[in-house]
Chain A
């Protein structure tokens, strides 16, 4: 943990780098000097960054293991798609940006409500229950979404479970997922969502609530003895992360023409966890870098054809080894001056 000033600088640098990258990429898109594959990946990258940062809030800052983050993304994606289709068909709302904003809000709301429902019983327990329950939750959501049909008829939304005999146009078609989605997500929206996530997570971490969340993580008994309500603060972190994951899902879902429920499998949850672990548990800028890098990497490895995933795994292991190497760490510290250690207690005593 760094001192307050160092933490402030890190936050500012993070915001600055994200904004600078956005400007550079926007200019590159205008100049058409960016490859088609990368351009197509920009919105998914934004979604995965939001996923990684929000999962880091649970895993790193609150210290609970969640293995079903893709479940919240799924909920957000499909509720976002339904919201957008409903607004378009029922209210003839043509403005794509307003529709996108409302869809993202709907995605966040649904994921947040479900997150709260899961968190209330589970976060009262100690130990690994959250990991077990969220793992099951992710699978349940995937299978439930496989059976859900939603259709829109005028302003009326109809929904069916295991039956597609619904009046009107189908928005969600069970195992076929959402088809013929009007892709309305834009890179700008993705960038704004990343900024929003960063502001929420970094500001939360550096506030009274954030300190309480970290206190509950570091020493449960001491935190309780200081009058901190553990469940309340674990809930705060978990639900905030669920809301952000739902928003990321809506952004992601509305960037694709089709989206099947099986996309959000256990594998995706683990992928997000890999982003968090590789970027450093509790390290927000690290999550951004690793989410972006690991989303681009599999595409860049396409030339290896069948060995693609093997190479991905090897690179991942190498990156983990290198980033934990003390020599590399000290080199990194020299390169980044503000990452100095806080004043050591005994040194400060002498001073």
Chain B
């Protein structure tokens, strides 16, 4: 089902604890390690016993039917929700006491399913907000326009354009972010997240609202970002072409629980997944 396969069948090897990571990441600490992660909303176990280990430069996918708890996991990882159970480690650092802001500073950046750009600001300003903790100067340098202000503003400007260039959006720098077409807004969210200098990038349905051509470009760009910035990417996506085309490791979620984990080929052959999710799609296609 995935004709345009961008990943070059990375050999996946078991990590000491049993999870699989790309062979190249075996030597370094996993960027993310969740154990028995869970959250309850009242009596509902929205996510339960979520375990995952992500290698340093791994592209992993999180799939599952609607309401399976995928976005909830992103909200847990960024501490928008506080987990009820379990632990999360970012590069071996416990994330238990971190706030959303700390998580970002520690190296997790995300995009949103329902786009959350600063619509009234320009494209460049949105990226500059991503650079907030990267290129800094204080309030008084800003008010008094000290040399630090001019230097840092110039750096921010150059860096923003560099980042926008990844998606060929530098020419849109002065456009109002809210006026961009839907696909461009999604790309801008990725650029803004990249600007925070993450180690792990969480993409929530990055291809939603994109046409097949744009999706293909997006796949190439995600691979490019991973290679250029040496970061890990965890993505939620319903577009199976994208998921099967670039993810090295896939985790299938249903009713808040992991029902299958493995490489794309394994997932496509997994009877539980086919029954719960992919099988229905294949029948519909046939």
Contacts and interface: CB of A to CB of B under 8 A. Distances in A.
Contact of B122 (A3, A208, A226, A346): A3
B282 to A, nearest CB: 36
Given A209-B142, A345-B176, A346-B181, A226 B119 contact: no
Contacts of A4: 122, 174
B111 to A, nearest CB: 9
Interface stretch (A28-36, A145-153, A196-204, A288-296): A196-204
A343 B123 CA distance: 11
B264 to A, nearest CB: 29
Interface string B92-112: 000000011100110001101
A207 B109 contact: no
Contact of B129 (A200, A228, A348): A228
B121 interface: yes
B167 interface: no
Interface stretch (A74-82, A90-98, A216-224, A268-276): A216-224
A111 to B, nearest CB: 18
B203 to A, nearest CB: 13
Contacts of B181: 345-346, 349
B179 A224 contact: no
Nearest to B185: A345
A221 B143 contact: no
Contacts of B133: 227
B142 A345 contact: no
Nearest to B198: A227
Contacts of A236: 139
Given A218-B119, A219-B116, A348-B172, A208 B152 contact: yes
Contact of B120 (A1, A199, A210): A1
Nearest to B176: A342
Nearest to B75: A221
A226 B196 CA distance: 7
A178 interface: no
A349 B78 contact: no
Contacts of B130: 226
B81 to A, nearest CB: 11
A213 B256 CA distance: 36
Contacts of A344: 175-176, 179
A218 B120 contact: yes
A212 interface: yes
A225 interface: yes
Contact of A225 (B110, B128, B143, B156): B110
A344 to B, nearest CB: 5
A59 to B, nearest CB: 16
Contacts of B143: 199-200, 203-204, 207
A203 B141 CA distance: 10
B145 interface: yes
B184 interface: yes
Contacts of B177: 345
Given A342-B174, A345-B172, A211 B145 contact: no
Interface size class of B (residues with CB under 8 A): 35 or more
A227 B80 CA distance: 12
Nearest to B139: A209
A1 B119 CA distance: 9
Counting chain B CB atoms within 10 Å of each CB, the highest count among A4, A208, A221 belongs to A208
Interface string B170-202: 011011110111001000000011001000000
Given A1-B121, A218-B118, A204 B179 contact: no
Interface in A224-266: 224-229, 236
B125 interface: yes
B142 A207 contact: yes
Most chain A CB within 10 A, of B118, B144, B180, B184, is at B118
Contact of A342 (B78, B109, B122): B122
B132 interface: yes
B64 to A, nearest CB: 22
A318 B86 CA distance: 60
A215 interface: yes
Contacts of B175: 342-345, 348
A203 B145 CA distance: 8
A214 interface: yes
Given A212-B132, A346-B179, A225 B104 contact: yes
Contacts of B139: 204, 207, 209, 236
Given A208-B152, A226-B130, A348 B171 contact: yes
B112 A228 contact: no
B117 interface: yes
B277 interface: no
Contacts of B110: 225
Interface string B69-87: 0000000001010000000
9 contacts: A208-B142, A219-B116, A221-B80, A221-B112, A221-B116, A226-B129, A226-B193, A342-B122, A345-B123
Interface of B: 78, 80, 99-101, 104-105, 109-110, 112, 116-123, 125, 128-130, 132-133, 135-139, 141-145, 149, 152-153, 156, 171-172, 174-177, 179-181, 184, 192-193, 196
Task: Identify the 6 closest CB pairs spanning chains A and B, nearest first.
Answer: A207-B142, A227-B104, A222-B116, A345-B180, A345-B179, A224-B100
Given A225-B78, A227-B196, 20 more contacts: A4-B122, A199-B143, A203-B145, A207-B142, A207-B149, A208-B135, A211-B121, A211-B132, A215-B118, A224-B80, A225-B80, A225-B104, A226-B104, A226-B129, A228-B129, A343-B174, A344-B176, A346-B179, A348-B171, A349-B181
Interface of A: 1, 3-4, 199-200, 203-204, 206-212, 214-215, 218-219, 221-229, 236, 342-346, 348-349, 351
